[in-house]
Amino acid sequence: MTGPPLLQVQDLRTTYVRDTGRVHAVDGVTFDVGAGEIVALVGESGCGKTALALSLMRVLSTNGRLEPGSRIRFDGLDLLSLSERAMCDLRGRRLAMIFQEPLSALNPVMTVGAQVAEVARLHGERSRRVAWDRAIAMLERTGIAAAGRRARQYPHELSGGMRQRVLIAMALLLAPSLVIADEPTSALDVTVQAQILDLLRDLQRETGMAVLFITHDFGVVAELCSRALVMREGKIVEDAPVDRLFRSPAHPYTAELLAVVPRLRAHGPRGATAV
């Protein structure tokens, strides 16, 4: 790869005010994501992976803040010196996020088609008609059958898998160069998860976008990602290509996690090699 990476994070620190004082959710994190790369961010609950994602998007809640000295460079821009307005323009257009729970990320009183179309409208599309057509096309692209009819439905009328496809459509509508996906398949059943992972992989190949995929599932890491960052107590303890991470984890914590990952041993029909 030539040129600087798409995303460069340096010594990022995020703290939250709690009744017990300041808590370091992200505690001095440094890593890169190259253009077109799918990088996993793995860790257990409370390790700071979601706080890291929200920091990158600059959408921390009011009791959270980025500490001085933190640096985020994205596509040549210093994200932390951008105005809120410039940041707003960047979000969605070049940097997008997919959340875990689509039901809370979607507006319950707006049809899903209107919500996807709104993304185009917010970023300068003047024509309602064009915005709507683009929304339908994108919903189709994410594998929603009868997208024209589905677009007129409300989130509660769709299944969990379909709602997740709607969120993916919203995130990818403007062809961002980096998508942060926060446990996008963790709430889904395995057969639906398999469909969504296939979809993300296809869309990544097609658009060349980079993905920072937050998960706690090493199965998903192995199937989707080329590199993984292992996070624990606000710090990245290991950053390695996925092959090497599984073969010879360098950090004892990674080794411990891999040792307890529940895995199917006797998977007869899939013919995978047993270790």
Partner 1 sequence: MTAPLVSVRNLTKLYPARRSMFGRAMGEVRAVDGVTFDVLAGETLALVGESGCGKTTTGRAILRLVEPTAGDVHFDGVDVRALDREALRRLRRRMQVVFQDPYASLDPRMTIGRTVQEGMEVHGLATGSEAGRRTGRLLEEVGLHAGDASRYPHEFSGGQRQRVAIARALAVEPSFIVLDEAVSALDVTVQAQVLTLLMDLQRDRGLTYLFIAHNLAVVERVATRVAVMYLGRLVEIAAAAKLFAAPRHPYTQALLSAVPVPEPGARRRRIVLAGEVPSRTAAPPGCVFHPRCPHPAKDAECMRAVPPLLEESSGHLAACIKPKLPLLPETP
Point out which residues bind partner 1 (CB under 8 A).
Answer: 44-45, 145, 159-162, 189-195, 197-198, 216-223, 242-243, 246, 256-258, 260-273, 275
Q: In the complex with partner 1, which residue's Cβ is closer, 130 or 264?
A: 264
Instruction: Count Cα atoms within 13 angstroms, Cβ side, for 90.
Output: 21
SS3 category, 74: strand
Q: Which helix (H) or strand (E) holds 244?
A: helix 242-247
Q: Cα–Cα distance between 194 and 214 in angstroms, integer?
A: 16
**Closest approach of partner 1 to the CB of residue 172, in Å:** 21
Comparison of 24 and 201: residue with beta carbon closer to partner 1: 201
Which are the contacts of 75, defined by CB distance < 8 A and separation ≥ 6?
6, 7, 94, 177, 178
Q: Which is nearer to partner 1, 68 or 268 (CB)?
A: 268
- Least gap, CB of 271 to partner 1 (angstroms): 6
Closest approach, Cβ 40 to partner 1, in A, equals: 11
Q: Which residues pair with 29 in a beta bridge?
A: 12
The CB-of-12 to partner 1 minimum distance in angstroms stands at: 23
**Residue 114 or 222 with smaller CB distance to partner 1:** 222
Q: Alpha-carbon distance 156 to 176, whole Å?
A: 27
Measured from the CB of residue 49, what is the shortest distance to partner 1 in angstroms? 12
Write out the two tokens for 236.
Answer: 């990245």
Closer to partner 1 by Cβ: residue 91 or 150: 150
